[in-house]
């Protein structure tokens, strides 16, 4: 279980997070929605320790993340970055098996390569992709490789940052379905940030709406459409008018 208690983060005068409180139960898929620049990525990066909150507490399975052993803590996570964040200098299989070729999870090279190819197959890529470089792949293939890397070490918790950004609707659907299947199959706790409503409906067990640095609404995805929350309603229906100010 992941718990955020009163998490604040500011960059100069810009107060991005203003007291985020959120609980993600173990084994559930939580999707955080909200407009651009509302702090979704900062919330996610705060949990991973990539950004240090100014105030508040983040607890993962009862342990304060500030006090956890960093390597052991990060070994429990997998993450799919918005742009893939694949390492240009490494072939695909070494990207996927990055964690398995160094550190505490290190395996023999041949075994790491085999696992990488198996994970590539799991995300719908053929083994011949393994020796290609990221720059030789399309956007959709790069997302799949990123997904394969996120699941390569069988993490307990997986984060997805804008998984369908830059993809066509069909490829978005494919990635959404893959994420859902993999999360269910692995029994992992998942946290996704997106503003793509088709992703929300495909991936989420629960949804949280972040606006103005706080969680405005959270609940099961099935209750999202009938929430009665004006912020959530405006967002999911994509209305230009409402409590969320739209700059024209």
Partner 1 sequence: MSALSLLLSPLARLGAAVLGLCAATGRIAIFAGQTVSHLARPPFYTREFLHALFQIGWLSLPVVGLTALFTGGALALQIYAGGARFNAEAVVPSIVAIGMVRELGPVLGGLMVAARVASSIAAEIGTMKVTEQIDALTTLSTHPMKYLTLPRVLAATLAVPVLVAVGDAIGIMGGYLVGIARLDFNSAAYLRNTVDFLEPWDVTSGLIKGAAFGFIIALMGCYYGMNSARGAQGVGRATKAAVVAASVMILAANYLLTEVFFSA
Helix axes 139-151, 109-122, angle to 10 degrees: 120
Binding window for partner 1 (CB under 8 A); candidates: 10-18, 96-104, 162-170, 236-244: 96-104
Work out which of 85, 186, 215, 221 binds partner 1, going by CB under 8 A: 85
Using DSSP's 3-state secondary structure scheme, residue 110 falls into: helix
Work out which of 21, 27, 87, 132 binds partner 1, going by CB under 8 A: 87
Residue 45 interacts with partner 1 (CB under 8 A): yes or no: yes
What residues between 190 and 219 interact with partner 1 by CB under 8 A? none
Shortest distance (Å) from residue 35 CB to partner 1: 19
105-131 core/surface letters (b: 16 or more CB in 10 A; e: else)? beeeeeebbbbbbebbebbebeeebbe
Q: Which of 221, 242, 214, 218 is nearest to 230 (CA)?
A: 242
Work out which of 26, 50, 128, 169 binds partner 1, going by CB under 8 A: 50
Work out which of 9, 40, 99, 216 binds partner 1, going by CB under 8 A: 99
Residue 160 interacts with partner 1 (CB under 8 A): yes or no: no
Residue 64 interacts with partner 1 (CB under 8 A): yes or no: no
Work out which of 36, 104, 110, 241 binds partner 1, going by CB under 8 A: 104
Task: Give the residue carrying structure tokens 């959404």.
Answer: 176
Shortest distance (Å) from residue 96 CB to partner 1: 11
H helices within 39-91, ranges in order? 40-48, 70-74
CA angle 214-73-117, nearest 5°?
105
Contact between residue 44 and residue 161 where contact means Cβ atoms under 8 Å apart: yes
Interface residues with partner 1 (CB under 8 A) are: 45, 48-50, 70-71, 74-75, 77-79, 81-83, 85-88, 98-99, 102-105, 149
């Amino acid at each position: 279980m992941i718990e955020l208690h009163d998490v604040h983060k500011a960059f100069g005068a810009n107060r991005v997070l203003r007291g985020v409180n959120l609980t993600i139960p173990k084994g559930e898929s939580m999707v955080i929605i909200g407009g651009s620049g509302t702090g979704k990525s900062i919330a996610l990066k705060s949990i991973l320790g990539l950004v240090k909150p100014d105030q508040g507490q983040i607890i993962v399975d009862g342990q304060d993340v500030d006090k956890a052993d960093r390597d052991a803590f990060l070994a429990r996570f997998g993450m799919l970055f918005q742009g893939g964040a694949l390492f240009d200098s490494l072939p695909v299989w070494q990207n996927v098996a990055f964690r398995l070729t160094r550190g505490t999870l290190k395996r023999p090279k041949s075994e790491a390569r085999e696992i990488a190819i198996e994970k590539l197959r799991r995300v719908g890529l053929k083994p011949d992709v393994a020796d290609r470089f990221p720059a030789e792949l399309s956007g959709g293939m790069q997302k799949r490789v990123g997904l394969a890397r996120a699941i390569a070490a069988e993490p307990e918790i997986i984060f997805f940052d804008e998984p369908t950004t830059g993809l066509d609707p069909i490829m978005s659907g494919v990635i959404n379905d893959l994420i859902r299947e993999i999360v269910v199959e692995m029994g992992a706790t998942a946290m996704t940030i997106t503003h793509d409503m088709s992703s929300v409906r495909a991936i989420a067990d629960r949804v949280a709406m972040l606006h103005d640095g706080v969680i405005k609404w959270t609940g099961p995805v099935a209750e999202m459409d009938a929430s009665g929350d004006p912020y959530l309603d405006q967002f999911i229906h994509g209305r230009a008018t409402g409590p969320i100010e739209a700059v024209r």
